[in-house]
Structure formats: structure tokens, C-alpha cells
């Protein structure tokens, strides 16, 4: 050991661990995390011996004795050679041969063993050795404070490639519920190893079976994403993003998979983070998951974002200690350079913002359920054949628009505009709606009218685009034509287009259909259609205080000018399930006419134009 220049040495300090420290380490370990640590060792052995190309099995089960419970963890992932026997319980010992392992810190399994119970026995046999070995750790061993050695014996009753750990007196009560909870936790942590759908997505092929008390662990699998064909909002996977640093002995590879769930799910939504294919964190909705405010944040995660699901995978063939996980593999360090970025590379959070922002913005306020829920992976209209669309980003720095969903959601808004117009006109028309749009159209239409669509009149023709763009103006004109007919004592819908007739009929039903009957002849001075009404010669001009010249071919009957009220509503969150509104003004037609200095019987279109003009001036 080098000495400081000019200083006299007084010997060396032995900075060795103590057994008391080893025992104390168990305090931050739970039953489930202890079992996971031992399974991590098994998966690393599997990698060292066969590169995880051969079938493997991990068994966890309990045996009840009179006064104790014995827990056995056995695997056939390759075993441990005799000359590495210390690796399984020696502090800081870890087999990192070849890199890319899950166990990186050399303390996890040790803490887990002490937490589960003492005494315990470890038995193993490498696949190419003629016999196995075994040793036992007891309370007496811990009492020998300065002696870290343990006798190792030959074992002949262990199969090649097998490792077995027996906790002779489990510190925890073993119940069916505990076994069930452990199966769930294992299915989450090793989802990438156990799930066929995740392996297909990642181009991997593992044959791994994990059982607890003889029952097989089921993986979480892929999230229940919507493969909606609208506006490019189907799930996407950005693969092979490299993050480098002068401190890394090998690049870290980042994969991001993102999409919208079919249904809002408070438990599932958010960001999952995997390191070395082992899940570290689930459903993150804070800054650790890439949310909240900041230059590389998506925004604050709220209830309206509970359809957003992001999967982040970080892996390296180098030293896994540089990855942003803690020694328990249960939390993520958001300040880690891999997450924040380095002098050489943008960090994971920067990539999350650039790949996932449009999905974050497509929240439940912007995208109604009808546009995601009908499109499961098995739907005939599922985008990308019901699988996340994969983008190779191994050599890319920019995320251009063709690799992201639409910014303006034009396809969704077009269907929403059409539905709004049809409901206002009292009709239903599927003309012009493509087959892949029909599930969303039918679902949203039923939702909007809050019941069966039989209350709407079916028509064959497609609505003109100008009517879709401003259906309120179209309804207003139809009502004005109906008022003229009612005032003249006529009911004559024969020359109207199919989409115009339901509004015309509704007006008469509400304003005196019992006062008129259908006529076979028609007065020449009355318009029969909207087109005739627009071209009549006897249009009246009125002026407002603002200098607008407005023309109308209709007037309102005198009885209406004296009795009609006028209400102004403000609607927020329009065209979404979160639509909400309130009445902000109530007055009378007479008061409005006086305010705008127009005749009391002026047509509705005159009043509407004045109100629009006043609001536009106010907003400007």
C-alpha cells in the first residue's frame, strides 16, 4: 500500500465487514424481495452456463415440520462449480463473467438468506462435475466473529446443473396467501422471461418455468393496449437507443414501448422500468417515471392519463452497477446519468419526452373511449396487426413526426364532428364512414345520445361538409324555413333533402303542427327549400351599432317575439367524455333585439351573427 510522502506509517486498517453488519443488512429486505434475489442468482447462472438457450426451472416450496417451516428454493439453471462456492454467501462476491447479469452488487442474495432464516444449507453441482458440494450456515457460525470460513462437503445426492437452498427454519408464516402473493410478484419481476408475447416483441426466446408450491407463475404479459387505427395512436416500440458515458465500460441500450390502454386503469397506467430484463418499478407517475414539470418531463400525470402505459428497458453487457437501480432492485435513481443524460448522449428522460409526448397529450379529455376500446389486438381493424409497431433507433438522434402519432387528432375529430352534426339534425348516416371507423362511430354515437340510436332518422346520403363544419347554422336555417311555412299556414317538407327533414318536422311538432295541415299547392311568395330562401329578392337589411350589414329572408312571428327567451351556454371539454357546461346568460328575444338595434321580428340568423361578432371582438 502506498504511503503519503513525508508521513510515518502506523500500520494498516483492516476495513473488513463484520458478521453483525451482515446480519443488520436483512432489515431492509422483505420476504418477497429475498426470494427474488435468490431467483436473480438462478437466472444469472442460467446465463453463464447456457446463455439462457436451454430450458430452465425454478421451484419454491415449503415443508411443514412440527415446530418449524422449511423453505426450499431449487433450480436447474447450471449449478455452481466447487471453486465458486463462496460466491453464494460471500459478501461482495458476484459472478459477473461476461457482463449483462442481474446480480451486480454482491450483497442481495446474502441479505435475502439472512432475512429468510438461519440456519440454511446451500448445495450445488455444476453440470460438468462428477459430484456436488454443500455447506451449512448456522447461528454458531455467526457467533465466531472473526472466522469467515465454513467447511464444504461433497454431496452426491444432487443432480448435475442444480442448486438448492434450504431455509431450515423460515422466519415467516407460510400460508396460501403468501404463496399467491409471491407468485404474483415473480410474474411481475420476470415478465420479460416468462411472457411469450413480451418475448415475441423483444425477439427473445426463453423456456423458463417458475413454480411456487407446485403452481406455475403466470407473467403479466403485454399491457392491454388499444391498437386503434386512428391518428397513429397505436402502440410503438423504439428500439436500440444507445446511451454512452466515459464512466461506462459498455453502452447502455434503451428500448421504449408506449401506447394507450383500452380502458383507464389506475393500477396499471404509468411507467414500468426494467433493468437487465428484471422489472424494477411499476406504474410510476412521478418524475421518476418521466412526468411532472421540467425540460425533459412529459407533464403532470393525472386521472385523465390513466390510459397511458410506457415500458422502459435498460440493459448493458457491461457492469450493471451503473444502471439506475438500487441494491434491492426495487427503485430507480432519477438522478442517474443514464436517466438525465451525459456529455456523450441524451438521457432516458429526454427520449421519453420525444417519443411519448403525443401519447401523453392524447388523454381521456381529448380521445373518447370509443376510439380506443373497440380495437383490441384481435380486432380485424387493429393497427399494425395487433402488435406494437417497431422502430429501429440504433443509429438515430431525432424523432421525426412520421415516427409519432398525429399532433392534431384530425381523424378522431372528423368523426366527432360528424356525430355532433348528425345528433343535432336528428339523423344517422354511415355514408362516407370507412369500415375501420365504424366501431368507433357506433360506440361514440350511442354514448352521445345516451341510449339506442333508434331515435335518429336513418338516411342514405352523406352530410355536406359545410353542414358538418357548422351544423348549428344549418339547423337554424331549417328552423327559419319552418317558421315561414308555419306563419303562412303551410306544412311542406316534400322538397327538402333527407338530412333536412327531421329538423323541419321537429320544429312543427314543437311550435304548432296542429295549426296547419300538409298542402298540395304552395304560395309562390314562400320559399320551398333552403336554396330558394337564400335567393329570395325581398331580403331585409339591418344595421348594428358595430356597422355590420346583415341580411335575412325571414322574420319571426309576432307571438314569438313577445314570449321567447334566449339562453347562452358555455361548454368546456367539448367532444369528449369530460364535456361540461353551464348557462352563463338568460334574457329575452326582445332585450337582445333592443341591444343590437334590430327589428323585433328579425330572423334568428341576424341575432346569431351579432352575438358572434360581439364575442369575437371581446376575445380579440
Residue with grid cell 409526448, as numbered in its chain = 357
Task: Report residue 462 as a C-alpha cell.
Answer: 352523406
The pLDDT of 200-213, averaged and rounded, is: 97
Tell me the percentage of the chain whose pLDDT exceeds 70.
86
Q: What is the pLDDT of residues 570-615, one digit of tens each?
A: 877 665 556 677 888 888 888 888 888 777 777 776 787 778 778 8
pLDDT of residue 18: 64
The domain locations on the chain are: 19-216, 236-403, 412-529, 537-619
CB contact burial 487-507 (16+ within 10 A = b; e otherwise): beebbbbeebeebbbbbbbbb
CATH 3.30.70.60 fits 19-216, yes or no: no
The pLDDT of 201-228, averaged and rounded, is: 97
Band (pLDDT 50/70/90 cuts) for residue 300 is: very high
pLDDT of residue 262: 97
Q: Which residues pair with 484 in a beta bridge?
A: none
pLDDT of residue 526: 87
Q: What is the pLDDT of residues 450-487, one digit of tens each?
A: 777 788 999 999 999 999 999 999 999 999 899 888 88
Please give the Cα distance from 372 to 306 (Å, whole number): 13
Residue 513 above 80 pLDDT?
no
CB contact burial 61-96 (16+ within 10 A = b; e otherwise): bbeeeeeebbbebbbbbbbbbeebbebbbebeebbb
Please give the Cα distance from 229 to 383 (Å, whole number): 5
Band (pLDDT 50/70/90 cuts) for residue 98 is: low
* Long-range pairs for 586-589: beta carbons < 8 A, 24 or more residues apart: 588/564, 589/556, 589/560, 589/561, 589/564, 589/565
325 secondary structure, DSSP code:
B
322 secondary structure, DSSP code:
G
**Topology, domain 236-403:** Ribosomal Protein S5; domain 2 (3.30.230)
Residue 342 above 50 pLDDT?
yes
pLDDT of residue 115: 92
pLDDT of residue 539: 47
pLDDT of residue 550: 45
The pLDDT of 529-556, averaged and rounded, is: 57
Please give the Cα distance from 340 to 65 (Å, whole number): 52
Residue 23 above 70 pLDDT?
no
Contact 572, 581 (CB under 8 A): yes
Q: What is the pLDDT of residues 260-272, one digit of tens each?
A: 999 999 999 999 9
pLDDT of residue 14: 47
pLDDT: which is higher, 598 or 125 = 125
Amino acid at each position: 500500500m502506498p504511503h503519503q510522502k513525508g508521513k510515518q506509517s502506523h500500520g494498516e486498517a483492516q476495513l473488513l465487514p463484520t458478521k453483525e453488519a451482515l446480519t443488520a443488512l436483512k432489515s431492509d429486505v422483505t420476504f418477497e424481495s429475498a426470494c427474488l434475489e435468490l431467483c436473480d442468482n438462478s437466472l444469472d447462472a442460467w446465463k453463464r452456463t447456457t446463455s439462457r438457450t436451454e430450458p430452465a426451472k425454478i421451484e419454491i416450496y415449503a415443508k411443514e415440520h412440527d415446530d418449524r417451516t422449511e423453505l426450499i428454493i431449487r433450480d436447474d439453471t447450471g449449478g455452481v462449480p466447487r471453486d465458486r462456492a463462496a460466491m453464494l454467501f460471500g459478501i461482495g462476491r458476484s459472478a459477473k463473467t461476461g457482463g449483462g447479469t442481474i446480480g451486480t452488487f454482491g450483497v442481495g442474495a446474502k441479505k435475502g438468506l439472512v432475512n429468510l432464516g438461519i440456519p440454511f444449507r446451500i448445495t450445488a453441482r455444476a453440470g460438468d462435475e462428477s459430484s456436488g458440494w454443500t455447506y451449512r450456515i448456522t447461528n454458531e457460525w455467526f457467533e465466531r466473529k472473526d472466522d469467515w470460513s465454513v467447511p464444504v462437503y461433497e454431496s452426491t445426492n444432487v443432480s448435475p446443473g442444480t442448486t438448492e437452498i434450504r431455509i431450515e427454519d423460515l422466519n415467516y408464516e407460510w400460508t396460501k396467501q403468501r404463496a399467491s402473493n409471491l407468485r404474483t410478484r415473480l410474474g411481475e419481476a420476470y415478465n420479460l422471461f416468462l411472457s411469450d408475447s413480451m418475448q415475441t416483441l423483444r425477439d427473445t426466446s426463453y423456456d423458463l418455468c417458475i413454480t411456487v408450491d407446485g403452481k406455475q407463475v403466470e407473467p403479466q404479459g403485454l399491457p392491454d393496449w388499444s391498437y386503434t387505427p386512428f391518428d397513429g395512436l397505436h402502440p410503438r416500440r423504439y428500439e436500440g437507443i444507445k446511451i454512452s458515458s466515459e464512466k461506462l465500460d459498455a453502452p447502455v441500450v434503451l428500448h421504449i414501448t408506449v401506447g394507450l390502454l383500452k380502458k383507464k386503469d389506475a393500477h396499471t397506467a404509468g411507467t414500468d422500468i426494467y433493468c437487465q430484463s428484471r422489472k424494477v418499478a411499476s406504474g410510476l407517475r412521478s418524475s421518476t417515471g418521466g412526468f411532472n414539470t421540467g425540460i425533459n418531463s412529459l407533464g403532470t400525470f393525472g386521472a385523465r392519463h390513466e390510459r397511458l402505459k410506457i415500458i422502459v428497458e435498460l440493459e448493458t453487457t457491461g457492469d450493471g452497477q451503473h444502471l439506475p437501480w438500487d441494491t434491492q432492485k426495487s427503485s430507480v435513481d432519477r438522478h442517474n446519468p443514464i436517466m438525465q443524460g451525459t456529455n456523450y448522449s441524451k438521457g432516458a428522460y429526454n427520449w421519453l419526452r420525444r417519443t411519448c409526448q403525443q401519447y401523453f397529450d392524447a388523454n381521456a379529455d381529448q380521445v373518447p373511449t370509443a376510439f380506443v376500446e373497440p380495437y383490441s389486438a384481435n380486432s380485424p381493424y387493429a393497427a399494425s396487426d395487433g402488435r406494437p409497431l417497431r422502430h429501429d433507433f440504433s443509429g438515430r438522434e431525432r424523432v421525426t413526426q412520421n415516427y409519432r402519432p398525429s399532433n392534431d387528432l384530425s381523424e378522431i375529430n372528423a368523426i366527432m364532428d360528424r356525430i355532433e352534426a348528425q345528433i343535432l339534425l336528428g339523423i344517422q348516416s354511415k355514408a362516407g364512414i370507412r369500415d375501420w371507423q365504424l366501431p368507433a362511430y357506433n360506440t361514440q354515437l350511442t354514448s352521445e345520445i345516451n341510449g339506442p340510436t333508434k331515435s335518429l332518422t336513418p338516411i342514405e346520403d352523406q352530410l355536406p361538409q359545410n353542414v358538418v363544419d357548422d351544423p348549428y347554422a344549418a339547423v337554424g336555417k331549417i328552423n327559419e324555413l319552418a317558421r315561414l311555412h308555419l306563419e303562412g299556414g303551410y306544412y311542406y317538407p316534400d322538397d327538402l333533402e333527407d338530412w333536412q327533414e327531421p329538423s323541419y318536422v321537429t320544429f312543427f311538432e314543437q311550435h304548432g303542427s296542429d295549426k296547419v295541415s300538409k298542402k298540395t299547392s304552395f304560395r309562390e311568395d314562400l320559399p320551398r327549400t333552403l336554396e330558394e330562401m337564400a335567393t329570395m329578392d325581398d331580403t331585409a337589411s339591418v344595421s348594428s351599432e358595430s356597422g355590420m350589414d346583415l341580411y335575412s329572408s325571414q322574420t319571426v312571428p309576432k307571438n314569438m317575439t313577445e314570449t321567447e327567451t334566449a339562453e347562452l351556454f358555455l361548454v368546456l371539454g367539448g367532444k369528449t367524455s369530460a364535456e361540461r357546461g353551464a348557462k352563463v346568460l338568460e334574457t329575452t328575444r326582445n332585450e337582445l333585439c333592443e341591444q343590437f338595434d334590430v327589428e323585433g321580428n328579425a330572423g334568428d340568423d341576424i341575432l346569431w351573427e351579432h352575438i358572434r361578432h360581439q364575442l369575437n371582438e371581446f376575445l380579440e
